[in-house]
Each structure stands twice: as C-alpha cells, then as structure tokens.
Structure 1
Amino acid sequence: MIQLRKPVLYNGFEIKDGVKTINRLVHELSVDVYRLTNNNYLVLFIGIEIKDLRIANYDIIEVNVGDMTYPATILSKFSKSSLNKLVATATKKYGFSSVEGMHDLKEILINDVINPLRDSKKYAKFKVSIPNGILLFGPPGCGKTFIIRKLAEELGYNFMELKHSDVGSPYIHGTTISIGETFKEARANAPSIVFIDEIEGMVPKRDRLTSNSEYKREEINEFLMQLNDAGKQSVLVVGATNRPNLIDEAIIRTGRMDRLIYVSPPDLKAREELFKKFLSDRPIHNLDYHKLAWFSSNYSCADIEYISTEAAREAVKSDLDFISQEVLEKVIFKTPSSISKEELEQNEHFIGKQRR
C-alpha cells in the first residue's frame, strides 16, 4: 500500500524555548502542519528552500532536523483555506505559475479540472463534474509527471503516486489487495490525486497475457473497479505513459479515463522559456534564446536541462567568465534529442483517439 510521507518532526520535537510539537495535523504536497504546545501551529515547508519564499510576508524560522534545514512559519490560527492561501502567497512560484510552456495542457486542466472544483455550484447546475480519469501520453521527458504534481499544488490536493513496483506482491492476490487499499486511502484523504506513471505496466493489454497470467487479469479488474466513479468520490486518477499502444483498451473507455491528452515535446516558445529557466541562475552573456529554441526542435524538457548543465560545465572547463551562445550551440549540435523517431510515431498514431 502507498503510504503518505512520514512526518518530518516527531511528536515532542522542540521548536524553540520549550515549545514542542504535539502531532501532525495536515500533510500536503509541499507542507506539513503541526499543532504546538503553546496552542499555535507550525507550517513546515517541504522541498521548498528559504530563497524561494517571500520572506517579507511571513516570519520565517529555520527548523534543523539532522543535517537538513527546513523553512517554517508559526500561525496563531489555522484552517485548510488559510493554509492554501499561505502557500500560494508565500512561495514565489507555485502550482502552474512554475510551469514553463505547456500552455495548451494547462488550459485543458484549468477548464476541465480546476474551474469545476473552484466554481462547483455553476458546474453542478449543468451537471458537469471533473473527469473521472485522465491519461497523459507522449514521449518521455516532456513533463507528464511534473505537470500533475503542479496540478496537485494548484488544487491543494493530496498527491499519491501509485507505482507497480510498490503495490507488487509475491503472494497470490497480494497486489490486488494493495491496489484496493491504495484507493481506500485516497478516498479517506480526499480530495486526492492518484497518479500512475508508466500505467502500461499496471494495466497491460489482456489479450496479450499468457494463460499463466490470471493473477494479472485479476489486478486489472481490480483497478477498473476502483477507477469507476472515482471522480464522484473526489479522487482524480491520472495515468501517464510513453507507450499508449500497450494499455488495455478498457481503461481508455469514456467513464473511466475520460480525457486522453497528448503531451508533445515542447514547442518553440516553450523551448525558449525552458532555456531561460535552466540558465537563469548561471553567468550568461548575450544569448539568443529564439535561436537556441530553433536548433533544439523535438528536444524534451529533460534534454534542454541537460544541455544547459553541459554548457555550464563546458564554460567552467574552458575557464570562461560566462556561458556564451557559441558554447550552447556547440553542446546542442553534439547532443541528439533523446526522443526517437519511433517514439514520436507510436504516440502520433494514438493521437487520433485523444479526447480533450
């Protein structure tokens, strides 16, 4: 079963001057909230550095746990809505504001998921709800996992990642039971997003299974049963795959995965924004971002990050004062795209089935 992340601070952890934690009240993607012995509340930021907080808005303290330092703030009152507001205003980039490019995909998620949740009365009037499930497909390294994590941030939902390796069991029926327990936990902590990366490993085509794979058919049937009406229980199920042709057809029927969305390699504008992002904290001089984007057609987000890092490494090795256009172009020309022609063709063949 997928477990929610363990508390960073144990009960009785001393914050300062004899003030200690009583227990963890809330676990979100990027924060933990603890009740304190002085009747205040500690908001501990997880995975966010102090430099990424608007310190002027809140009194930020540092909490040291072993060799780790976490930024935190103390509130006299606490509610779920106040927490969402705090995180949204205290961080420089949060949710979709930290996503470079992917404008079409963000627009789809805003219209189909975020707006129905934020204006539920309006959508309920027309009997429109969020999709039961979403399947993101496309070449690797193009941000499928990243965008769903940011969707969870944007909504303030609990984020649970369901990996086949985590629910796998050597015992008969063990994996089936784990799948059921995971969804039970998601419902108990709703609203939640259950994200399944490489979903083709969880629900492969049943007509390709051998006669000795009855246990796998049982797992697929359990997943289908849990997927049915998940949205009505405030659980959004999102799958991601680089190989959509290997997924069982029953998963992508309407009423299960209602939205099939192609996540393409970043377009020209997105590649410009990605180069700006990955080079922003490095010494640079007189760069032509449009030209860099033009030279990197069909490169993934991961490819552009790699190129930016390799260019920085090359500048250091050559004892340069900054990263130049020449250095970046040199790295681009010797670094082929990680997306193969076959991967593009496989996904483009599936595009005709997408529902947006």
Structure 2
Amino acid sequence: MLSTQMPLCSDVDVASLAEMTTGYVGADLTALCREAALQAILHTSQDAGSHLIRMSNFLEALKKVHPSCLRSSIGQTDFRPVAWEHIGGLEDVKLKLKQSIEWPMKFPEAFIRLGLSRPKGVLLYGPPGCAKTTLVKAAATSCHCSFLSVSGADLFSPYVGDSEKTLAQVFQQARACAPSVLFLDEIDSILGSRADSKASRGVQDRVLSVILNELDGIGLKVTERRGPASKKCLQEGLPEQQECDRQLDYQEVCNKDVLVVAATNRPDLLDDALLRPGRFDKIVYVPPPDQEARLAILKICTEKMPLDSDVSLEDVAEKTSFFSGADLENLCKEWKRYLLMNSALPFRLVLTVNGKHAMTSGVCKNHRKLAQLIVDM
C-alpha cells in the first residue's frame, strides 16, 4: 500500500522487504519508505539518473530505521549482517544451528506436520574466539529476525530487584518483536551454578530464577486486573471469594518465534537446571578450527591482502595448530601492520617473522580437555 505511489525500480522485491522488516509497525514502515526515497534522491543527484527507488536504497534505509519496539531497548544492538559464507569452516556447527534456529522459523509448517516442537533454547560452548557470537549473528541474519543481545554488564545493577526487572523487560521486548533471537553472551558470568554457595550469589540466584521461569512460561502472559464491580465489592466489604472480587485474564501471546541462544566458555559452571531438556534443548560444541577450517579462515581474512606468489596459506594453516578464528584474524592484522611499517620488505619475510609467533599461540589447548569432559558427561 505504501509503495503503490512510489516510483520503484524493477529490482525492488516487496516480499523480501516484508521478510526483513520483522517487528515494524505501520509508522515504522512509513518512515522506512520515506528514508528510502531520500536515499534515492541523494544518489540520483550524484549520478544524474532517473528518480527511481532501488532495492539498495531500501537496504540503506534499513540501517537507519529500526522497529519502534526496539528503540531505547536494553538488548538492542546494531550489528552488520553476517552471512554463513563469511565464517570459515565449522560446517557441522552451521548445520546444527540451521536445524535449531533457521528451519523452525522458515519452515514452521513442516514442524507442525511432523508434530515436532521447536527448541526453546540453544547453548553454544567452546574456547574463546571460535566465532560463537558470529554464528548466532549469522543465524539471525539468515532468518531476517530481530536480534537482541544481553550481557552481564547490561543486567547487573546496585539496586535490589533491578536486575531481575531488566531481564524480564528484555524477554518482554523479545516477544513484542517476534520472531526474534535473544542472545545471552557469557551466560556463566550472568548466572553460574547454585551449587557454588557464596554470600555474593544472591543476585545471580534471583536472575537464574527469572530466566528459568521465562524459559518455562514463554508464550503465556497473565494479567491481573480489578474491574469496577470488584472495587464496589471491596468498598462494601463483601468477601473476597465472591465472583466480583478478582478477575484473571489469561492472554496467549504469539511469541512462539522467540528463541533464547546462550554462549559460554565454561559450561561446567552452569546450573544443572538450565541444561535439562525443555530449557536449553540443544547444546552445541563449537570446536577450535582444524587445518581445513583454518585454511578457509585465512582465505577469508587475506581476501583483500596483496599476497606474494610464494606465500602458501596451506603451510600457514599447518603451522597454526590450536589457533582460534580470532587468533588467525589477529595474525592477518599483524601482517598488515608489519607491511605498513616496513613497506619495502617483501610479504614472504613478514610471513616468516610472524610464523614464529604463530607457533606460540595455544589458547584453545586447555579447552580441549574441558570439551571432552563435557562430551563424556
């Protein structure tokens, strides 16, 4: 309706735009069309072309116009869309995330036909720097759903009860803009385990109780109200057991498309109540990249780098055992910095110098024993 009076180019896919604008209300869509028109005017004034609104103008407008339900939201985060192809390796992990996150949102009819319920929560665990957060962003990008991210810094407050209230508000906003993915980063620092009885764990215990209730009761909202008849009964001193005393309204909220995804480096610190089926139904281990995955990551990181003809990325991938994806990305950045300071040197010398430093990185080495311990459990 909004686009009928707009001069649209043939490449504008309205159905695709409708899929990308999850959580947008009518006023948000009006602002989006207005911003796309402004982008078209800006580009046509530079190119001196016809005044047609292209799909690229809508994509630029989507970066500036956000759903009103997420404005001033605690979990709202701006992230650049991530494609699955931008993540090297981890093919098994990608498939598991697609089955748990993407397929239930894209093919709900198939799940209903098979009587298969979608998971309420997905837990990713593994060494730091192995693309756990990036994988969740890629899943949210492929689903075209809203993405909310919460960490311990967003939740904890010096005021009593404020952390629990904040977490409940985040879940409420996730329901308001469904389908959505609610990402709890470093969940072990937010919750921990109730088995570790410490005096300072009071807030964490209350936050854990809130998230357990939200995971169990997701989709059901209970509103309590008192009508005029109830107020009259109270003024006359009638018994509270009478019908006019209290009215409970149970409202089913359409939030079946809310999925909670958490990431942690220490799954052994989490409470057992979180890990049972019905809460975090799917637990996925994100391993350090193997040699083939390291080669794929290096190819992505060096895509725009001026490599010398004698540089062998296969050799680098072989020498960087126990490197995480973040380590490999940082290694490529170090190469670029070294070239910037020593532009006269050939790139193969840079590779040799940094190759010695590459052998010393073993951040993933200590996590493999922990991962095997979790798998055995």
- Scaled by the length of structure 2, the TM-score of the pair is 0.69
User: Which one-letter code corresponds to 2:119 in the other structure?
Assistant: P
Q: Distance in 2 between matches of 1:40 and 1:168?
A: 39
Select which of 17, 21, 30 maps to 1:35.
Answer: 30
- The Cα of 1:337 is off from its aligned counterpart by 1.9
Name 1:17's counterpart in structure 2: none
- The Cα of 1:244 is off from its aligned counterpart by 1.1
Name 2:320's counterpart in structure 1: 296
Larger deviation, residues 332-341 vs 251-260: 332-341
Select which of 77, 84, 94 maps to 1:96.
Answer: 84
Asked whether 1:311 is paired with 2:306, we answer no
Name 1:337's counterpart in structure 2: 361
Q: Is the 8 A contact 1:136 1:260 kept in 2?
A: yes
Alignment of 1:157-172 (within 5 A): 157-172=145-160
Asked whether 1:278 is paired with 2:301, we answer yes
Select which of 261, 269, 274 maps to 2:284.
Answer: 261
Q: Is the 8 A contact 1:176 1:219 kept in 2?
A: yes
Select which of 97, 102, 119 maps to 1:131.
Answer: 119
Name 2:165's counterpart in structure 1: 177
Higher strand share: 1
Q: 1:298 aligns to what SS in structure 2?
A: coil
Count how many residue pairs are aligned between Structure 1 and Structure 2: 289
Q: Distance in 2 between matches of 1:224 and 1:134?
A: 14
- The Cα of 1:299 is off from its aligned counterpart by 0.2
Deviations 1:210-239 (CA, angstroms, capped at 9, x unpaired): 245333322111111112254863111111
Name 2:233's counterpart in structure 1: none
Asked whether 1:224 is paired with 2:212, we answer yes
Q: Is the 8 A contact 1:34 1:42 kept in 2?
A: no
Q: 1:339 aligns to what SS in structure 2?
A: coil
Higher helix share: 2
- Scaled by the length of structure 1, the TM-score of the pair is 0.73
Name 1:249's counterpart in structure 2: 272
Deviations 1:73-115 (CA, angstroms, capped at 9, x unpaired): 9xxxxxxxxxxxxxxxxxxx85313222121111112223322
Q: Is the 8 A contact 2:124 2:285 kept in 1?
A: yes
Percent identical residues: 27
- The Cα of 1:191 is off from its aligned counterpart by 0.8
Name 2:347's counterpart in structure 1: 323
**Structure 1 stretches of 4+ moved >6 Å:** none
Q: Distance in 1 between matches of 2:203 and 2:31?
A: 48
Deviations 1:243-278 (CA, angstroms, capped at 9, x unpaired): 111111111111111111110111211111111111
Q: Distance in 1 between matches of 2:61 and 2:344?
A: 39
Deviations 1:160-212 (CA, angstroms, capped at 9, x unpaired): 00111111121111111111111011111111111111100121110112245
Alignment of 1:19-34 (within 5 A): none
Q: 2:363 aligns to what SS in structure 1?
A: coil
Name 2:376's counterpart in structure 1: 352
Q: Distance in 2 between matches of 1:40 and 1:310?
A: 43
Counterparts in 2 of 1:127 and 1:245: CA distance versus 1, 3 Å: same
Deviations 1:282-311 (CA, angstroms, capped at 9, x unpaired): 211122221111111110111111111112
Select which of 258, 263, 275 maps to 1:235.
Answer: 258
Select which of 141, 145, 154 maps to 1:153.
Answer: 141
Work out which of the two has the higher radius of gyration on C-alpha atoms and give 1 or 2.
2
- The Cα of 1:130 is off from its aligned counterpart by 2.3
Q: Distance in 2 between matches of 1:327 and 1:44?
A: 47
Q: 1:101 aligns to what SS in structure 2?
A: coil
- The Cα of 1:154 is off from its aligned counterpart by 0.5
Q: Distance in 2 between matches of 1:272 and 1:320?
A: 27
Higher-RCO chain (CA-CA 8 Å, sequence separation at least 6) = 2
- The Cα of 1:58 is off from its aligned counterpart by 3.7
Name 2:184's counterpart in structure 1: 196
Q: Is the 8 A contact 2:151 2:184 kept in 1?
A: yes
Counterparts in 2 of 1:36 and 1:120: CA distance versus 1, 3 Å: closer
Counterparts in 2 of 1:36 and 1:223: CA distance versus 1, 3 Å: closer
- Superposition RMSD in Å: 3.2
Larger deviation, residues 124-133 vs 110-119: 110-119
User: Which one-letter code corresponds to 1:289 in the other structure?
Assistant: L
Q: Distance in 1 between matches of 2:60 and 2:177?
A: 25
Larger deviation, residues 215-224 vs 146-155: 215-224
Counterparts in 2 of 1:234 and 1:61: CA distance versus 1, 3 Å: closer
Q: Is the 8 A contact 2:121 2:281 kept in 1?
A: yes
Counterparts in 2 of 1:341 and 1:102: CA distance versus 1, 3 Å: closer
User: Which one-letter code corresponds to 2:347 in the other structure?
Assistant: I
Q: Is the 8 A contact 1:230 1:236 kept in 2?
A: no
